[in-house]
Amino acid sequence: MISARLSPRPRTHGHFVWYELMTTDMEAAKGFYAQVIGWGTHDAALPDVSYTIFTAAGVSV
């Protein structure tokens, strides 16, 4: 019997999911996602912290 923990999750298209990318080389990450899936970036204006938001067709993803 397969554990429920290991069962595939239902499709979640359209549901909110939040992921953080932790990296020591944001410029490389920006280049990677731009080249592989065509994403752009937007630098968020947060005080005292560098925070980048990835975008697809100008919309935050």
The three-state DSSP-derived secondary structure of 1-59 is CCCHHHCCCCCCCCCCCCCCCCCCCHHHHHHHHHHHHCCEEEEECCCCCCEEEEEECCE
pLDDT at 44: 92
Q: Is residue 50 part of a domain?
A: yes
Q: Is residue 47 part of a domain?
A: yes
Give yes or no for a contact between 60 and 42, defined as CB atoms under 8 angstroms apart.
yes
Please state, in angstroms and rounded to a whole number, the distance separating the CA atoms of residues 40 and 58.
7
pLDDT digits (tens, 9 = 90+) for 5-43: 666 667 767 777 778 999 999 999 999 999 999 999 999
Q: Is residue 31 part of a domain?
A: yes
Q: Is residue 39 part of a domain?
A: yes
Residue numbers of the domain that contains 36: 22-61
Q: Is residue 53 part of a domain?
A: yes
Number of structural domains, the chain?
1
Q: Is residue 9 part of a domain?
A: no
